[in-house]
């Protein structure tokens, strides 16, 4: 570490609550980054294990230790950390996660070379106690990230590093009432102020275990994520949407299979969204249209009732199918239409 540097370029925020099992591994991992010009703000959130003792055993002057006797919640400390941070960039890590040794180096290099970007995430790997590892790839370019925000979170929270001035200039912070989807909402807000990127390298290692808040509050997270999705659609349409439109949004972006009647409604809703974006240009027009088509086209394979009129209505969706799916769908159409003719003739003979 270069101790002659007065101000750190990066501030790393880590709230801690009863993490004595993992915390020394995470602290060692951060302190051994190849990029060294950072401060490490650690918030002990009322832990009743030996987390505090472990943290204070480190003599590295990059560590700034903050202690509260009561458990106030990690979001309070993240927002406090944003205000306390001296760095130009703010990074985030949980007490049980790990970084690739070059993570900060590569992200700082990118943001220094690209001042029009305000947030930089990375691909990441998940791992659990059984040794199961999964590679998580996320959209890398800004246009794709903005579109994915409509359906789900395109960032792993501990992968992210943010340009602090974006947060301060626009008074952006984590919303405590949206735990455990507070990060998703913040990314949506940041996306309206700056460009965002994910580096296509696995630079973060995310530990999976039962005590994580996302596991304990999974159903709550899904409900909050749906509310955040609705707000984005209302922003696109410049109006509030009805309960039926909220349901159609849920069906569209959750790729839920419905009956034929509901499917046709979803198609019409997607068309309304496409027209709205064509006018406002919030999302890349070509990519947004392709995204909507992908989310609607596969549904026609599950149609139960067929007619020439219905096929004409969904011709745009048919064009998006792969060659194999087109053949499968057309064979289904022929069989159903032929059956309709046969049964129609049988009914006329009986009468």
**Residue 324: per-residue pLDDT:** 75
Residue-wise pLDDT for 275-300, tens only, equals: 999 999 999 999 999 999 888 877 77
> At 227, which helix (H) or strand (E)?
helix 218-237
Residue-wise pLDDT for 229-275, tens only, equals: 999 999 999 999 999 999 999 989 887 777 777 888 888 899 999 99
Q: Which long-range contacts (CB under 8 A, 24 or more apart) does 73-80 make?
A: 73/45, 73/176, 73/179, 74/15, 74/17, 74/43, 74/45, 75/174, 75/175, 75/176, 75/179, 75/182, 76/176, 77/13, 77/15, 77/43, 77/45, 78/13, 78/15, 78/173, 78/174, 79/173, 79/174, 80/43
**Residue 2: per-residue pLDDT:** 43
Angle at 287 between CA 286 and CA 290, to 5 degrees: 90
Question: Comparing C-alpha atoms, which of 302, 333, 304, 300 is closest to residue 316?
Answer: 300
- Secondary structure of residue 15 in the 3-state scheme: strand
Question: Comparing C-alpha atoms, which of 95, 128, 124, 89 is closest to residue 109?
Answer: 89
Residue-wise pLDDT for 149-174, tens only, equals: 999 999 999 999 999 999 999 999 99
Q: Where in the chain is the domain with CATH 3.90.550.10?
A: 10-220
Average pLDDT rounded to a whole number, residues 92-106: 97
Q: Are 121 and 160 in contact (CB under 8 A)?
A: yes
Q: What is the CATH number of domain 10-220?
A: 3.90.550.10
Could you list the beta-strand ranges (E) of 32-113. 38-45, 63-68, 89-92, 98-99
**Residue 334: per-residue pLDDT:** 74
Least confident of 9-13, 33-37, 345-349: 345-349
Least confident of 68-77, 170-179, 227-236, 318-327: 318-327
Per cent of the chain over pLDDT 90 is 71
Q: Is the pLDDT of residue 11 over 80?
A: yes
């Amino acid at each position: 570490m270069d101790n002659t540097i007065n101000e750190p370029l990066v501030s790393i925020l880590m709230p801690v609550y009863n993490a004595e099992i993992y915390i020394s591994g995470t602290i060692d991992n951060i302190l051994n980054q190849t990029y060294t010009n950072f401060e490490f703000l650690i918030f002990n959130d009322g832990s009743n294990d030996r987390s505090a003792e472990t943290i204070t055993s480190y003599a590295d002057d990059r560590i700034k230790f903050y202690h509260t006797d009561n458990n106030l919640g990690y979001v309070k400390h993240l927002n406090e950390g944003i205000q306390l941070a001296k760095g130009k960039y703010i990074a985030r890590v949980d007490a049980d996660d790990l970084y690739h040794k070059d993570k900060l180096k590569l992200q700082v290099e990118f943001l220094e070379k690209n001042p029009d970007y305000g947030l930089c995430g990375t691909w990441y790997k998940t791992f659990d106690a059984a040794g199961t590892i999964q590679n998580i790839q996320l959209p890398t370019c800004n246009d794709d990230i903005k579109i994915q925000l409509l359906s789900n979170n395109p960032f792993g929270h501990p992968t992210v590093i943010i340009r602090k001035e974006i947060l301060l200039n626009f008074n952006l912070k984590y919303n405590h009432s949206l735990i455990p989807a507070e990060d998703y909402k913040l990314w949506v807000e940041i996306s309206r102020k700056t460009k965002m990127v994910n580096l296509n390298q696995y630079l973060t290692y995310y530990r999976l275990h039962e005590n994580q808040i996302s596991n304990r509050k999974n159903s709550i997270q899904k409900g909050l994520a749906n509310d955040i999705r609705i707000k984005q659609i209302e922003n696109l349409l410049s109006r509030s949407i009805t309960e039926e439109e909220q349901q159609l949004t849920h069906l569209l972006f959750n790729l839920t299979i419905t009956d034929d009647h509901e499917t046709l409604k979803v198609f019409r809703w997607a068309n309304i969204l496409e027209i709205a974006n064509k006018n406002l240009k919030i999302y890349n027009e070509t990519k947004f249209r392709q995204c909507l088509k992908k989310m609607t086209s596969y549904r026609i394979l599950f149609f139960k009732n067929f007619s020439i009129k219905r096929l004409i209505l969904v011709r745009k969706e048919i064009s998006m199918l792969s060659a194999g799916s087109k053949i499968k769908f057309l064979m289904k159409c022929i069989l159903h239409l032929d059956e309709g003719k046969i049964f129609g003739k049988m009914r006329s003979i009986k009468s």
